[in-house]
Amino acid sequence: MNLYAQMTPEELQITLRQLKEEHRGYVAKGLSLNMARGKPSAQQLDLSMPLLDAASAASDLHALDGTDCRNYGVMDGIPEAKELMAQIMDDVPERVCVFGNSSLNIMYDLITHGMLYGFLGNAPWKDAGTVKWICPVPGYDRHFAILEQMGIQMIPVPLNPDGPDMDQVEQLAADPAVKGIWCVPQYSNPSGITYSPEVVARLAAMGAADDFRIFWDNAYCVHHLSEESAQSVHVADIAEACAQAGHPHRYFKFASTSKITFPGAGIAAVAASCEAIAQIKKRVGIQTVGYDKINQLRHVRFLKDLEGVKDHMAKHAAIMKPKFDLVERKLSQGLGANLAPDAQGDQVLGLAGWTRPQGGYFVSFDGMPHTASRTVALAKEAGVVMTGAGATWPYKQDPLDSNIRIAPSLPPLEELDQALDVFVCCVKIAAIEALLEQ
């Protein structure tokens, strides 16, 4: 399958020289391109500018319940913001808290909560000896960084096209020291897969510690790339699954408007069982007098409801889809057929596989073993910043050094086109170098 692997060393050297010549050309251009982070483009941000006028000097800033959103109070979110976020999260307002601008911060605070106070009568994790966590890979580097900072031991398990390898997850969760699992259940970061209903049911039903928690970071729940996927892709509700399985407190659901409106100025929410929400409110009521209610009001007035969100997300999709299409086209043209499980194609260079997501912000790219770091370094030399190799694994240690997260959202199409040319060239150089070293 790998055409390079069938070449002689001499043929490889000739090809390598040509590729290095090409690479030098990119370096000489002094490019400054970025495919590193899942940042919306300026064009996407422009979609939400009317949000800012939804709370102007001339506006009435009272919430529906009469709260003056300018003043202190209402620590868990104004009612209409809870309603909006509940709709986005498949939940009910009573089980939702709307906090500040960062769902990551809510997750961080909840893991801190587990460490210092414990959940619903269970001992604080700081007193529980070693605490372990299940980390589907490839996964989200910021999730892993939280656990690493807190000294929680991360155990990678493979993320399959239908979700984490549940045989391994069930086996691990039986250990009472295992207290949680990271899940980005729809359009997973970075592979773009969505958990199947069976996986959701097994996560909810499996044996696990009483204070085992599924951190359900549904960051891309409305982030479809096409009308077709908007119609067909929707992960099963973990709350309902956990309730049905008799583990009603096992999950925390997270969502935010960071990639709906403004990443720097959105609103974020958590949903959980009523008992868990009560405990969260008790802690957060000590932590702060309240979050930015004017911004909550802005969001409700601008987005209105789930239908409003869907209409708005279709505008994002119209900007994002051509970028993902371009990634697919450039990788296919440059590297031959996609080796990912669901890929199809005839022409084969066979160096790599990558995902073709229907939503979310990323393409997960797998090169030949021992080439990811080199590829990213070569790209950087040529002015193209990628997410660091290894970032998709706990402790940044990708044992195969093969996975790279591609984030095509930020650059305009013409820049993305150029960045992908550079990337393809670097993938090829790293592959040949790896073959020559064998």
Three-class SS of residue 245?
coil
Q: Which residue has the tokens 């060239």?
A: 425
Identity of the residue, 69 or 382, whose beta carbon is nearer to its own copies in the bound complex:
69
Identity of the residue, 26 or 125, whose beta carbon is nearer to its own copies in the bound complex:
125
Site membership for its own copies, residue 71 (CB under 8 A): yes
Q: Is the peptide bond before 394 cis (omega within 30 degrees of 0)?
A: no
Interface pattern 146-175 for its own copies (x via CB under 8 A): x--xx-------------------------
The number of residues that bind its own copies (CB under 8 A) is 55
Site membership for its own copies, residue 52 (CB under 8 A): yes
Site membership for its own copies, residue 49 (CB under 8 A): yes
Three-class SS of residue 98?
strand
Interface pattern 92-111 for its own copies (x via CB under 8 A): --------xxx-xx--xx--
- And the tokens for 411? 């650059």
- And the tokens for 179? 């207290």
Q: Which of 22, 68, 162, 325 binds its own copies (CB under 8 A)?
A: 68
Identity of the residue, 102 or 168, whose beta carbon is nearer to its own copies in the bound complex:
102
Identity of the residue, 2 or 59, whose beta carbon is nearer to its own copies in the bound complex:
59
Question: 436 CB contacts (<8 Å, ≥6 apart)?
Answer: 9, 12, 13, 16
C-alpha–C-alpha distance, residues 239 and 96, integer Å: 12
Site membership for its own copies, residue 287 (CB under 8 A): yes
C-alpha–C-alpha distance, residues 204 and 308, integer Å: 31
Q: Which of 112, 122, 196, 373 binds its own copies (CB under 8 A)?
A: 112
Site membership for its own copies, residue 129 (CB under 8 A): no
Q: How far is the CB of 219 from its own copies (least distance, A)?
A: 12
Measured CA to CA in angstroms, residue 156 lies from 128, 366, 379, 426 at distances of 21, 17, 27, 28
Helical pair 103-116 and 274-287, crossing angle rounded to 10 deg: 90
Site membership for its own copies, residue 126 (CB under 8 A): yes
C-alpha–C-alpha distance, residues 366 and 250, integer Å: 33
C-alpha–C-alpha distance, residues 240 and 204, integer Å: 9
Q: Which of 187, 251, 252, 291 binds its own copies (CB under 8 A)?
A: 291
First-to-last CA distance in the chain? 18
Identity of the residue, 21 or 311, whose beta carbon is nearer to its own copies in the bound complex:
311
Q: Which residue has the tokens 């990323």?
A: 362
Site membership for its own copies, residue 34 (CB under 8 A): no
Identity of the residue, 184 or 241, whose beta carbon is nearer to its own copies in the bound complex:
184
Stretch of 2-10, 113-121, 318-326, 371-379 lying at the interface with its own copies (CB under 8 A): 113-121
Question: 303 CB contacts (<8 Å, ≥6 apart)?
Answer: 84, 257, 260, 261, 309, 312
Q: Which of 9, 50, 207, 341 binds its own copies (CB under 8 A)?
A: 50
Where helices occur in 61-165 by DSSP H, the ranges are 79-88, 103-116, 141-150
Alpha carbons within 13 angstroms on the beta-carbon side of residue 25 total 11
Site membership for its own copies, residue 412 (CB under 8 A): no
Where helices occur in 336-387 by DSSP H, the ranges are 372-381
Q: How far is the CB of 148 from its own copies (least distance, A)?
A: 8
- Please give the torsion angle defined by the CA atoms of residues 337, 343, 345 and 350, in that order, rounded to the nearest 10 degrees: 20
Identity of the residue, 106 or 309, whose beta carbon is nearer to its own copies in the bound complex:
106
Stretch of 163-171, 256-264, 307-315, 343-351 lying at the interface with its own copies (CB under 8 A): 256-264
CA angle (162 as vertex; 160, 166 as ends), nearest 5: 70
Q: Which of 69, 270, 352, 391 binds its own copies (CB under 8 A)?
A: 69
Stretch of 19-27, 290-298, 323-331, 340-348 lying at the interface with its own copies (CB under 8 A): 290-298
Contacting positions for its own copies (CB under 8 A): 37, 39-40, 42, 45, 48-53, 55-57, 59, 68-74, 100-102, 104-105, 108-109, 112, 115-117, 126, 142, 145-146, 149-150, 258, 262-265, 283, 286-295
